[in-house]
Amino acid sequence: MRYLLDIVRIDRCLQDALPPAYSDHVQHTQIRSSGSTELQPPSKPTNFLSLILKDKHIRGSYVINPLMQIPLSLLPPLNAGETDQDRKNLYLRTKDGNINADIWLIGQEEAAPKNKRRTTLSLSSNDGHITAKINTVKVVAPFLLDIYARDGRVTVLLPRSFHGPLLLITRESAKLSDELVQRSMTLSTLEHMQRYFVGDFSHQTFGDDWNGDELKVVSRDGSVTIRYTDEVELPKSGFFSRIFSS
């Protein structure tokens, strides 16, 4: 409990150091390799999807269109003190289980999304590992991905168009892939907390609040790994891997 309180205290203290919003957000676009076709989502889109389980794993593909209008009568009730502005576009929560989410964000053909609100994604598990892969289709608005794993490792795969801060809190290791390191600037390192900014920080026009892309990860007793969606995962080193690679 004391550790979690320390996390909250440190995070609040560092909020002022977070870069504020800039007026010209980098738009998310689907990156295609030479000769390839645009990736297609595996199912029809939805919005404000909430999935809360107690003792089960959460695995699947979740296609979110943040511009889709869902009648309030079909949405789950808000918690006490929450407003419609607090409602998450995707909320996945399990008490005891892993989360493996292949998340697709659907955008528009235009260069500037009409929706000025960030897409918010929240994943949490008290006892389990969490893997989140973010895919983008067309041009999507900036998104906030918030992940909490009390006892489990976290792996996040970001689109190449991600542009914004990373907040990583863990008592174990927190690693960025080589390509992410090359595109990132270290903002601060304080005990179990690391902050980075991905993308070009020097030529931004800043305002009062950050409304661009953002990733927050808290994993009390698990490692954190962040890489791009199209990066190949490096094989784990060990006795058997050395045998089969020889």
What confidence tier does 235 reach under pLDDT thresholds 50, 70, 90? low
Closest among 27, 29, 28, 19 to 202, alpha carbons compared: 19
Separation of alpha carbons 16 and 34, rounded Å: 42
| Top-ranked range on mean pLDDT: pick from 16-30, 31-45, 65-79 | 65-79
Separation of alpha carbons 69 and 48, rounded Å: 9
Higher pLDDT, 117 or 113: 117
**Residue 198: other Cβ atoms inside 10 A:** 21
Give the range among 24-33, 43-52, 89-98, 184-193 with minimum mean pLDDT: 24-33
Q: Is 138 exposed, middle or buried (0-12, 13-18, 19+ CB in 10 A)?
A: middle
Task: Note whether residue 162 is domain-resident.
Answer: yes
Higher pLDDT, 36 or 114: 114
Is residue 118 over pLDDT 50?
yes
Give the range among 35-49, 84-98, 212-226 with minimum mean pLDDT: 35-49
Separation of alpha carbons 76 and 232, rounded Å: 38
What confidence tier does 108 reach under pLDDT thresholds 50, 70, 90? confident
Q: Given this model, what pLDDT does residue 33 score? A: 34
Task: Note whether residue 31 is domain-resident.
Answer: no
Tokens 């070009």 identify what position?
Answer: 200
Task: Note whether residue 175 is domain-resident.
Answer: yes
Range of the domain at 53: 2-16+40-75+85-245
Task: Note whether residue 161 is domain-resident.
Answer: yes
The fraction of the chain above a pLDDT of 90, given in percent, is 58
As for how many domains the chain has, the answer is 1
Task: Note whether residue 33 is domain-resident.
Answer: no
What confidence tier does 19 reach under pLDDT thresholds 50, 70, 90? very low
CA–chain centroid gap for 98, Å, is 16
Task: Note whether residue 34 is domain-resident.
Answer: no
What confidence tier does 201 reach under pLDDT thresholds 50, 70, 90? confident
Task: Note whether residue 25 is domain-resident.
Answer: no
Task: Note whether residue 26 is domain-resident.
Answer: no
